[in-house]
Chain A
Amino acid sequence: MRSPFIAGAWYDRRLVLALVGVVCVAVAGALALVLIKPAVGTTGALRANGTHHAVSLTVATARVGTTAIDMTFTGTDGLPSTPDEVEVDVVMARMGHVLSTVDLVPTGPPGSYRAAAVELPMSGQYEITVRTSDPGGDDRIVFPLLVSG
């Protein structure tokens, strides 16, 4: 009879121990993979449509510290648009903490703006509110942003 388990054999115990080890490693590894998932800050461009403008917003580094924020505006016709007024606020809604109003500078191409140094003092959920004013009406678009540590 072919059996890997022979009573009293030294390799019997080794096989059992190896089996238990494999099970433990597999379970621990799989759970770690699922449960200990680090919080990842928002990456890439965020886009949203207002009534008069569509806004694309890119946060260079959604981590605690100082980051640049780029914005481009397009009109309802899909072409770059330049609102008469643009204001940007950064808020941690849960903390009741309003960061000072962001200084936004046109970067050259129509409808493109940049805030070079926006302070993100702690990790968590932020709201970046973009307000535009035009003779045709106002827009208020809120971008949720997750900032990691």
Chain B
Amino acid sequence: MRKHRHTSLPRVVAVLCAVVALHSQASPAWADGGPAGADLHVAQTLGTRDLTVVVRKVEITPSPLRINVITHAGTPAGDIRLTAIPTGVRSGDDAAGTPDETVLTLGSTPGSYDADLTVDVVGPWELVLDDGEHTGRVPFIVSAPVALPVQTLSQNGFLAAGVFLLLAIAAAVLSRRAWLPVVPAAGVVAGIAVGVVGALLTGVVPPPPRPGVEVDATVDNVRDPYAGGALVSQDHSRPPVNLALRATPIPTGADLALAVTDGSSGAPADDLLVHDSALVHLVVVTPSGGLRHLHPVRTGPGAYRVLVDSTEQGHHAVSAEVSRRGGGVQLVRSATGFDLGTGTTAPAVVPGDGQRRIGDTDVVVRTEGLGTGSGTTVRVRFGTENDLQPWLGMLGHMIVVGPLPEGREIGRAAQEAPVWGHVHHMIPVSPGATGGQPDETVAAYGPDTTFTHHFGLPGRYLVWVQAERDYSVLTVPVELTVTDTEEDR
């Protein structure tokens, strides 16, 4: 007698559901304001205003586009004209899109000021900020919901299985031929197999290049990133850039024009991504050893502009941190820097460890391991409460420059220093948090910030630790003397 084994159908279904659920988790968020519909946070030094502009994600078109402009302590009140302009290359009969503009009145109280624009097509856009004298153009992408092909395949497989199941039941009830129900039954099994395999592959199949992040965005590839058929991941990185400066002295410092060009073609490099909440992180070291961490506005293809607030005479060293489309952050040191006046400025006295007062905040600095053989940790406590705000997506930043020889103007020595570094203290991840990164209205972090850096060369370094509190960016200069501990080993 033949022995029949009864398989538990609920058990099989449960296992299948668990497997499908495990492989159907949400894909990770795109970095740097990618096309998946993340909010775009971008810092803009527009004239004398330090602004953080948040372009909120758009789910469908046409729809309102919410813009938050976050001001800081000391930001002058006034009007800013905001304009959204579609810039995408399109094919077929796609509409070009309609520009929309509004005027946003910024108050004298630091905080978030909101405006709504309308976007009516998907693809690349520009947000133009105009204060009447200065203009900044921020590229962003209005994304479209994109279905993964294997996900669609999975859904269609299960749909086909359902249809075949009905046919199989009908055939079994109505047909006198015993073999007939087997045909649609085979379709049921095949449909389920396709559905399950599709679901299993949902998180495995490599995604296509991301429009706007890895490849140039167009209306077509934003709408369907899979249209190109390229499913194989590859290196999308582009050549390095050159940075040229033109400084025009003004009463408050310098009006600095930056030209960013492609290292191969020499053409304007107009593909800088928003990384760490800025298109360009410009670091200026003044003759006395002061730091300016600025975010030039894009005025045109590869052209940026920023006002540097410095009345110090002497040489200013400059570097820019940028990220091109295709991947990879690069630190570009200006070969020239710029000079203001004909005199020099004496270096300021910069303390090391200990307590000091920056603005209205008591700051305590403590360093550990000041040697070349291991990592050096710089701990900085801002006040006593958990009220630090994220700045550029981070809890804190530490800029490192050195080694700096004694007796030289700091700006000139920094220009030639072997090491320029930029260290972060990340925002702690809140379990279950949704809706993207917190903006500067969230004052819930700190008061401690910690930075670890490996100093490869002994000598005197200047580091500047930056964090935001009460909508003020606090900059804490610290002098470190790193000893050569590798020789002692």
Interchain CB contact under 8 A, A26 and B194 = yes
Interchain CB contact under 8 A, B270 and A18 = no
For residue B275, give the distance in angstroms from its CB to the closest CB of chain A. Answer: 18
The contact string, 1 if C-beta is below 8 Å from chain B, for chain A 1-41, is 01110010000000100110011011100110111011110
The binding surface of chain A is classed by DSSP as mixed
Instruction: Bin chain B's interface residue count.
Output: 35 or more
A147-B189 Cα distance, complex, nearest whole Å:
40
Residue A146 CB within 8 A of the other chain: yes
Residue A45 CB within 8 A of the other chain: yes
Chain B residue contacts of A143, Cβ below 8 A: 89
Interchain CB contact under 8 A, A44 and B92 = yes
Interchain CB contact under 8 A, B96 and A49 = yes
Chain B residue contacts of A97, Cβ below 8 A: 264
Interchain CB contact under 8 A, A34 and B149 = yes
Given contacts A19-B186, A26-B193, A35-B149, 6 further A-B contacts (CB under 8 A): A4-B178, A4-B181, A30-B194, A48-B87, A49-B87, A96-B238
A76-B289 Cα distance, complex, nearest whole Å:
51
A94-B92 Cα distance, complex, nearest whole Å:
27
Residue B136 CB within 8 A of the other chain: no
For residue A64, give the distance in angstroms from its CB to the closest CB of chain B. Answer: 15
Interchain CB contact under 8 A, B153 and A34 = yes
Question: Which residue in chain B gives the minimum CB-CB distance to A97?
Answer: B264
Number of A-B contacts (CB under 8 A): 127
Known: A23-B189, A146-B228. A30 touches B157 (CB 8 A): yes
Residue B198 CB within 8 A of the other chain: yes
Interchain CB contact under 8 A, A47 and B2 = no
A43-B94 Cα distance, complex, nearest whole Å:
14
Instruction: Bin chain A's interface residue count.
Output: 35 or more
Chain B residue contacts of A19, Cβ below 8 A: 182, 185-186, 189
Query: Of the 9-residue stretches B103-111, B229-237, B348-356, B435-443, which lies at the interface with chain A?
Result: B229-237
Interchain CB contact under 8 A, A7 and B178 = no
Interchain CB contact under 8 A, A91 and B90 = no
Chain B interface residues (CB < 8 Å from chain A): 2, 86-92, 94, 96, 149-150, 152-153, 157, 178-179, 181-182, 185-187, 189-191, 193-194, 197-198, 201, 205, 215-218, 221, 226-231, 235-239, 262-265, 267-268, 270-271, 301, 326
Residue A119 CB within 8 A of the other chain: no
Among all A-B residue pairs, the 6 with the closest Cβ atoms: A96-B264, A26-B190, A144-B216, A37-B229, A96-B239, A39-B229
Interchain CB contact under 8 A, A23 and B270 = no
Interchain CB contact under 8 A, A140 and B301 = yes
For residue A139, give the distance in angstroms from its CB to the closest CB of chain B. Answer: 10
A63-B458 Cα distance, complex, nearest whole Å:
56
CB < 8 Å: which of A40, A46, A98, A127 contacts B228?
Answer: A40
Residue A142 CB within 8 A of the other chain: yes
Chain A residue contacts of B94, Cβ below 8 A: 47
Interchain CB contact under 8 A, A23 and B193 = yes
Can you pick out 13 interface pairs between chain A and chain B where the beta carbons lie within 8 Å of each other?
A4-B181, A23-B193, A26-B193, A27-B190, A30-B194, A30-B197, A31-B197, A34-B152, A37-B231, A39-B230, A93-B238, A94-B326, A98-B265
Interchain CB contact under 8 A, A22 and B265 = no
A23-B263 Cα distance, complex, nearest whole Å:
54
Known: A46-B90, A93-B238, A144-B215. A30 touches B198 (CB 8 A): yes
Chain A residue contacts of B301, Cβ below 8 A: 140
A112-B178 Cα distance, complex, nearest whole Å:
70
Question: Which residue in chain A gives the minimum CB-CB distance to B300?
Answer: A140
For residue A84, give the distance in angstroms from its CB to the closest CB of chain B. Answer: 19
Residue A129 CB within 8 A of the other chain: yes
Interchain CB contact under 8 A, B193 and A94 = no
A57-B80 Cα distance, complex, nearest whole Å:
36
For residue B78, give the distance in angstroms from its CB to the closest CB of chain A. Answer: 26
A35-B87 Cα distance, complex, nearest whole Å:
31
Known: A23-B190, A47-B90, A89-B267. A144 touches B218 (CB 8 A): yes
Residue A125 CB within 8 A of the other chain: yes
A11-B233 Cα distance, complex, nearest whole Å:
47
CB < 8 Å: which of A22, A27, A35, A125 contacts B186?
Answer: A22
Interchain CB contact under 8 A, A96 and B265 = yes
Known: A30-B153, A94-B238. A89 touches B205 (CB 8 A): no
Question: Which residue in chain B gives the minimum CB-CB distance to A37?
Answer: B229
Question: Which residue in chain B gives the minimum CB-CB distance to A98?
Answer: B265
Known: A22-B190, A30-B157. A2 touches B270 (CB 8 A): no
For residue A79, give the distance in angstroms from its CB to the closest CB of chain B. Answer: 16
Known: A23-B193, A89-B265, A94-B236. A18 touches B186 (CB 8 A): yes
For residue B212, give the distance in angstroms from its CB to the closest CB of chain A. Answer: 11
For residue B155, give the distance in angstroms from its CB to the closest CB of chain A. Answer: 12
Chain A residue contacts of B265, Cβ below 8 A: 89, 91, 93, 96, 98
Question: Which residue in chain A gives the minimum CB-CB distance to B89?
Answer: A48
A129-B301 Cα distance, complex, nearest whole Å:
12
For residue A121, give the distance in angstroms from its CB to the closest CB of chain B. Answer: 15
Chain B residue contacts of A2, Cβ below 8 A: 178
Chain A residue contacts of B87, Cβ below 8 A: 48-49
A125-B237 Cα distance, complex, nearest whole Å:
12
